[in-house]
Amino acid sequence: MRQLPSPRLPTDRSQLRLALEAPRWALGCYARHPFLVVGVSLIPAAERFTVALWGEAFSAPAHVALEVLAEGARVLLVYLVLRIAVLGDERVRRWNHLPVLRRVRAFADRRWPSLLWQGALLLALAAVFNIVPEQVVPLWLPASAHDLYWACLLAAKNLTVIAFTLLWMVAAARQALIEGGRLLEESRSSAG
């Protein structure tokens, strides 16, 4: 496989800007398709809420079936967002003549600092939305409210944080396809 020419790395600021494009797109996608995102996310939200409050009443097969249903809904959300918002995007289709893995690899090889930034941002998001609601808020609640709080928290996170994170992952893949295609074309035109 032919190596791409190694141009100078973009600045840290431009890498951060590039990294912020994915969560920005994910927020925009959530805003453009709220009924899709919330509608599909209601399935795992309802499952988590129900299991958190009444889970001990369910048999083991029922637990498994509910878990499969919840995970299936998440897979469905990713699939639908890919079909509607990514594959329908002209900027993604523009590079269809280039193999997908080559585009992703070009992006990873040349824009890897932006991937590190995205990882750091995801870790920060996880820390804030896990530690505060799961460790800090319960300290202020009476013990009798913990089960209901936990059930509501799990449902709310499925509608918001988890759905947004899934959209972010789709956005990162979309970005790799678009930017990777652009990088490959750039290197092809500069070599030719």
Portion of the chain with pLDDT greater than 90, in percent = 77
* Residue 70 contacts residue 44 (beta carbons within 8 Å): yes
Determine how many CB atoms are found less than 10 A away from the CB of residue 53.
Answer: 15
Q: Is residue 52 predicted with pLDDT exceeding 80?
A: yes
- Alpha-helical segments (H) within the chain: 12-32, 34-54, 60-81, 90-93, 100-110, 112-131, 146-159, 161-191
pTM to 2 decimal places: 0.87
Query: Would you state the pLDDT for residue 191?
Result: 73
Q: Is residue 2 predicted with pLDDT exceeding 70?
A: no
Assigned token pair, 184: 């490959």
Domain boundaries, the chain: 13-187
Predicted confidence (pLDDT) per residue in 79-110, tens digit: 999 999 888 888 888 888 888 899 999 999 99
Query: Would you state the pLDDT for residue 8?
Result: 52
